[in-house]
Amino acid sequence: MEYTYSIQERERLAALTGDKMMSMPVICDVGREAWRSKEAKSGDSEVPQWGPREERGPLWEAITAVSLLQSGVDIIRMQHPRAVATVKKCIDRLY
């Protein structure tokens, strides 16, 4: 996540300084990528200290989406309805 955030941040800075290629809208497939991580897909019996998967997965997707939005991503594609609702609440709070 840290690497992705820093790359996106550099792309946004380049766009703001006039780089035409970096001025294009950025779309991230957050849902697919977040659910591929071990934090989202590990079963409850494998890592009970992480909490129930049905809560952990949507939270992981929401955290990923909010982080990428803060780095300057224009559009996020999400999967889980609870994650979408959480991200919408965060966006509403920012405005």
Rounded Cα distance between 3 and 40, Å, is: 19
Average pLDDT for residues 7-34, to the nearest whole number?
90
Q: With beta carbons less than 8 A apart as the criterion, state whether 64 and 87 touch.
A: no
Interior/surface letters 32-47, b for 16+ CB within 10 angstroms, e for the rest:
ebbbeeebbeeeeeee
Q: Which residue has the tokens 């990528």?
A: 33
Predicted local confidence at residue 7, as pLDDT:
87
- Please state the pTM of the whole predicted model: 0.82
Over 80: is that where the pLDDT of 75 sits?
A: yes
Q: What is the pLDDT of residue 17?
A: 93
Q: Check pLDDT > 80 for residue 68.
A: yes
